[in-house]
């Protein structure tokens, strides 16, 4: 089974399309999946099993469904968890960071057309969001 990002075709910047489960919300974004993704153990991400890739807002386009999106915030209210009000799926979220600007967290599970082999090859970095220690992995990651 191929394990490298080149062998399965995820290396390099490209445009991906994605959607929620029912298709009411659709988007596209430019990202290089070989650069890595994140899984976090905070209360929201671990319950939703949210698997994200961060892109600058300029690399994201909402194609349809702005009127079908709801917004959920908690804690410091700095992250906008956007979900489809029809099917409940969270295709992306946004955060404004003063030092970087607006970022969009793309839900990898919502990207269209990725094969199982491609998904397995995507590098993952684990984050200890539960303790606001984003730079380190939690002690246990298997459930993420």
Please give the domain boundaries of the chain with CATH numbers for all domains: 5-131 (2.170.150.70)
- Give tens-digit pLDDT for 99-112: 889 999 999 999 99
pTM confidence score:
0.88
- Give tens-digit pLDDT for 121-144: 999 999 998 898 888 988 888 888
Quote the pLDDT of residue 1: 39
Quote the pLDDT of residue 75: 72
Q: List Cβ neighbours of 95 (8 Å cut-off, separation of 6 or more).
A: 78, 79, 80, 102, 103, 105
Q: What is the mean pLDDT of residues 28-49?
A: 91
Ordered DSSP codes for 61-78: EEEE-GGGEEEE--TTS-
| pLDDT averaged over every residue in the chain | 91
Question: Using DSSP, how many helices (H) and how many strands (E) does the chain show?
Answer: 3, 10
How far apart, in whole angstroms, are the C-alpha atoms of residue 62 and residue 57? 10
1 or 82, which is more confident?
Answer: 82
Provide the 8-state DSSP code for 79: E
């Amino acid at each position: 089974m191929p394990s490298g990002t080149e062998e399965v075709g995820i290396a390099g910047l490209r445009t991906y399309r994605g959607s929620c489960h029912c298709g009411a919300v659709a988007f596209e974004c430019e990202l290089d999946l070989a650069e890595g993704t994140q899984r976090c153990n905070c209360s929201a991400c671990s319950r939703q099993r949210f698997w994200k890739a961060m892109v600058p807002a300029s690399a994201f386009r909402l194609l349809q469904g702005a009127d079908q999106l709801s917004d959920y915030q908690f804690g410091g209210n700095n992250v906008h968890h956007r979900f489809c009000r029809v099917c409940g799926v969270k295709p992306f979220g946004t955060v404004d960071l003063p030092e970087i600007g607006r970022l969009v967290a793309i839900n990898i599970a919502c990207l269209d057309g990725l094969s199982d082999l491609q998904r397995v090859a995507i590098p993952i970095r684990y984050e200890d969001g539960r303790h606001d220690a984003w730079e380190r992995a939690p002690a246990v990651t298997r459930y993420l």
